[in-house]
Structure 1
Amino acid sequence: MTTEHRIRRIGLAAARAFVQARTGIVLDVMVPEHFEQRHIPGALQACVHEVVFCDAVAALAPDRAVPVLVYGAGAGSQDGRMAAEKLLRLGHADVRWFAGGLEAWCAAGLPLEGSAPHARPDAHPPVVMPDGTYMLDTAASAIRWTGRNDNGAHHGTVNCAAGSLAFSRGHGTGDLRIDMRSIRDLDIADAALRPVLEAHLASDDFFFTALFPQAALEDMALAPLPSATATTPNYRLTAQFALRGMRRRLALNVALRGVGDAGGLALAGHCDLNRTRWGVLYGSARFFRHLGHHRVDDAISLDFRLVYAPARGR
């Protein structure tokens, strides 16, 4: 029998009776800053999202025979159920999950404790981009690439050269310049072989950096995705991607988040590019026959995190 089937799920009336009886432990498993604002009277706190959750519970409830009522945010949030499963695996004999959680408790008008018991904070405040201009922080930004062939894969980095974003009413425009001469491999340990691959990538076989030293995202446009959550991409990025003298349309979903205390932004995402669309044909079986061990997958994967700071004087 799984722990999920052994969880004793209770409703509001039973939870209220448990709290009033004071014969067991009431455990709030949400983040500490939320607990500090409002919680069920007499509740203790151990955040189920922390890696030390089990140690915290062991300190709060050393006697595993004592009944424990756990609650989280409420319907649709898995925090209380996940905590109950963990307690059962730790050997607690009587674990009760108040599935309605704090939402049901508040909706019933029952008493609360905390610094702001009547506050109703948004669980995940929507990301709203303030109007203004943002400049790329090249040192804090990173682009990682992965290329694959029959023998495995190589991965490395390429540096950003410059970039900017401008937002108006939640929509953004901008550009990004990439220094293709900075392309580096990170997986080859042999110091003599690594420069061979890097020179190969810089040559006319691949990115021809002597003639095309930069790649670019031009005419960037960012539009909000209406169905996004706080942990999924929330903007649609479209642009013309210029590489090796060719421009092709690029469209992908990205995550745009606020970072730091100074109003900065971070734009992160992943895409798989068919390099042959930009004339990078080396090793492609679409364009050559009898390649032997020189076959190289057409797709190049890019993972990026671009960090922006507000432009001075905006």
Structure 2
Amino acid sequence: MKKILLLGIGVLLFVSCKKEEKIEPTTVETGISGMFITDSTSTLNWTGSKQTGKHSGTIKIKTGGFTVENGKITDGKFTIDMNSISVDDLEGDDKINLEEHLKGTKPDVVDHFFNVVKYPEATFIVTGFMNENGSDMLEGDLTIKDKTNKVKFAVSLTEADGFVTMSSPEFKIDRTQWGVNYGSKSIFSDLGDKFINDDIALQINMKAKK
């Protein structure tokens, strides 16, 4: 069984974010090589927060694949199914209402967040793989609502029986960089304490096969 473990601990931000956080060292045990196609169970975990609490859930990675050469990710592209946005910390009508709000599937909330009717998919295209301060980082272009920004985050890969699992520690993005402005006090000055934080925390849980 080949195994490569690239551990990145700590919260990483988009290049456009205002703060830089410490990146802990990673270790590489041995190499992985090959082309891998994502499994239908792959997800992107998300957490959004506001002053009074937070909500979390998943989004499905619809399709994708990536290439690894001697433990380095050399290319890859992934399509994210925005219609699959799920809220996992609520039940019943509360769950349904928040999911519809995030997706924009009610007439009065169409473009509050992700407007999945007009923008049913998001994409991530790998543009680089490097080591920074001892951590192995995956860099790429993330497109949401037809807006593209570069992102960078730590990844870990493990391989067993022909499968590779790609995961990341939690990292944050500033949603307003993609025009997701609803409830943002950096966009609207009259919200008082009824704002939603600009940062969304993400965490990758992807399984792929040769």
Give TM-score scaled by structure 1 length: 0.53
SS at match of 2:181: coil
2:142/2:150 contact within 8 Å kept: yes
Q: 1:152 to 1:195 in 2, by over 3 A?
A: same
Task: Identify the match of residue 272 of structure 1 among 172, 179, 187.
Answer: 172
Q: 1:169 to 1:146 in 2, by over 3 A?
A: same
Q: Which has the higher contact order (CA 8 A, sep 6+)?
A: 2
> Which aligned pairs between 1:17-56 and structure 2 lie closer than 5 A?
none
C-alpha displacement of 1:225: 6.3
Task: Identify the match of residue 89 of structure 2 among 170, 177, 187.
Answer: 187
* Whole-angstrom CA distance in 2 between matches of 1:300 and 1:290: 22
Give TM-score scaled by structure 2 length: 0.77
Determine if the alignment matches structure 1 residue 165 to structure 2 residue 165.
no
Decide which structure has greater strand share: 2
Runs of 4+ in 1 over 6 A off after TM superposition: none
Identity across the alignment (%) = 26
Aligned residue type for 1:256? L
Gaps of 5+ in 1: 1-123, 228-233
Task: Identify the match of residue 32 of structure 2 among 129, 132, 136.
Answer: 129
* Whole-angstrom CA distance in 1 between matches of 2:158 and 2:187: 41
* Whole-angstrom CA distance in 1 between matches of 2:183 and 2:28: 47
Q: CA RMSD in A?
A: 1.9
Which has the higher Rg, Structure 1 or Structure 2?
1
> Which aligned pairs between 1:1-314 and structure 2 lie closer than 5 A?
126-130=29-33, 132-139=34-41, 141-172=42-73, 173-189=75-91, 191-203=92-104, 204-223=111-130, 227=134, 235-258=136-159, 260-262=160-162, 264-269=163-168, 270-292=170-192, 294-310=194-210
Q: 1:145 to 1:125 in 2, by over 3 A?
A: closer
2:123/2:144 contact within 8 Å kept: yes
